[in-house]
Amino acid sequence: MTLAIDSERLQSEIEALASISDAEPPAVTRIVFTPTDLQARAWLKERFEAAGLAVRQDAIGNTFARWNGSDPKAPVVGTGSHIDAIPNAGKYDGVVGVLGGLEAIRALQRDGFRPKNSIELLLLTSEEPTRFGIGCIGSRLLSGSLSPDSARKLKDADGKSVDEVRLQAGLRGELEEVKLPPGYYKAFVELHIEQGPILEREKIPLGIVTKIAAPASARISIEGAGGHAGGVLMPDRRDALCAASELILAVENAARTSGSIDTVATVGICDVFPGAVNSIPSRVRLSLDVRDTDLARRDAVMDGIERASQEISDKRHVSVQTEMLNADVPADCDPGIVQALSRSCEKHRLSFRPMISRAYHDSLFISRVAPVAMLFIPCRNGYSHRPDEYASPEDIVRGALVLAETLASLSA
């Protein structure tokens, strides 16, 4: 097999997709089910069909571009990722897995490969938590990790439900129909940028993910007492932002002192009310994101944060309410797929290393119903979720090449 990845076309497609965005370049913003997202989906559907793939969409908008294999009864080999992008993001997160997957399939087609197992390229809906508060809605529903009823309860900042928004986007069918039948996928392999600095720092072109960390996230609401910034003396204050500040540092401390470098915790959102220069903050809403490859350790950190909340509440006479949004289990990648990826790297004398993914991905949820593995390529300075996110054409080609050969070995 002498596969050739068409880097020029792949780069032009990455640029074209990046231009379908609600942000000034080089930033990319593409929130799920917005007109921009729908435009990007339509553009991709055309590319999938131009590659001769049969395209279908499920009730939540997961899109399956299928290359029919010679044995229609054989379980499917899947690849893919997401194209939704958080505000002020970059152009490679998720996109490398979708467009790299498309180019991997086209390279196999050009090389005359004929799969026995059908190969499906997936565009998975709402991997980012931006609009509905939790990530991976599409892959959670596919794998049964999220029930249709729980999905219907999710609302965006305007109070619109998932159902309202998806139906407005033209999707049909019931969420109950999304869950895959058992054994549908033989394997699922996701190509993704590392979103961390290790590969670049160690000058290793490829990472094979053996474990995907598990995210837990929550909304925290802190209620104190507002008042005039001049009239209320310090001893009489119940300043919600001062309490929030103490809690944010407690979150950081809980992760730093967990005993493992694999624990990470972030407060990414801090909304202050009323947000006036001469008014004492009466209410603060925080987001909380805690991850670890070890479930017990992650939950111990969550417990530590809960204790800190209680102490701060008692000491500062404020109320602290925590609403858990998700607390998922980590995923171990499938040794067989890891080996298939390794074999392809060795064949091309490409150095690689096993890796843990602290970012979560759709593969985390698809692992509940199928064997999965992920292939990472470096991103400059490890930057991601920011406009200067960058993966080189050479790294993307290496990723697509190894992905193509792995898909071929799994579907032969």
Give me the least distance between CB of 127 and Mn ion, in Å please. 6
Residue of 69, 78, 135, 378 interacting with ligand HGY (CB under 6 A): 135
In angstroms, how far is CA 51 from the centroid of its own chain? 26
Give me the least distance between CB of 367 and ligand HGY, in Å please. 15
Residue of 78, 94, 224, 330 interacting with Mn ion (CB under 5 A): 94
Q: What is the CA radius of gyration of the chain?
A: 22
127 part of the interface to ligand HGY, by CB under 6 A = yes
120 binds, among Mn ion, ligand HGY, none (CB under 5 to 8 A by kind): none
Give me the least distance between CB of 237 and Mn ion, in Å please. 39
Nearer to ligand HGY, 217 or 344 (CB): 217
93 part of the interface to Mn ion, by CB under 5 A = yes
Nearer to ligand HGY, 59 or 359 (CB): 359
376 part of the interface to ligand HGY, by CB under 6 A = no
Nearer to ligand HGY, 83 or 359 (CB): 359
239 binds, among Mn ion, ligand HGY, none (CB under 5 to 8 A by kind): none
Compute how many residues bind ligand HGY; rule: CB under 6 A.
Answer: 5
328 part of the interface to ligand HGY, by CB under 6 A = no
Nearer to ligand HGY, 94 or 226 (CB): 94
Residue of 92, 188, 352, 360 interacting with ligand HGY (CB under 6 A): 360
Nearer to ligand HGY, 212 or 404 (CB): 212
E-assigned strand segments in 293-377: 319-327, 331-332, 352-357, 372-377
Q: Which residues contact 46 (CB under 8 A, 6 or more apart)?
A: none
Give me the least distance between CB of 291 and ligand HGY, in Å please. 8
- The position carrying tokens 């394997």 is 187
* 244, two tokens: 């929030």
- Classify the phi-psi angles of 242: left when phi > 0, otherwise alpha if psi is within -120 to 50, otherwise beta: alpha
135 binds, among ligand HGY, Mn ion, none (CB under 5 to 8 A by kind): ligand HGY
* Long-range pairs for 69-74: beta carbons < 8 A, 24 or more residues apart: 69/114, 69/115, 69/116, 69/117, 69/118, 69/119, 69/411, 70/114, 70/115, 70/116, 71/116, 71/117, 72/118, 74/116, 74/117, 74/118, 74/186
328 part of the interface to Mn ion, by CB under 5 A = no
- Phi, psi of 190, rounded to the nearest 5 degrees: -110, 125
Task: Point out which span in 106-114, 127-135, 339-347, 365-373 binds ligand HGY (CB under 6 A).
Answer: 127-135
37 part of the interface to Mn ion, by CB under 5 A = no
Report the relative pairing of strands 119-123 and 76-81 from DSSP bridges: parallel
CA 29/CA 400 separation, integer angstroms: 24
Count helices and strands (H / E) in the chain: 12, 18
- The position carrying tokens 């300043």 is 239
* Cβ(378)–Cβ(205) below 8 Å: yes
What is the contact surface with Mn ion in residues (CB under 5 A)?
A: 93-94
Which chain residues interact with ligand HGY by CB under 6 A? 127-128, 135, 359-360
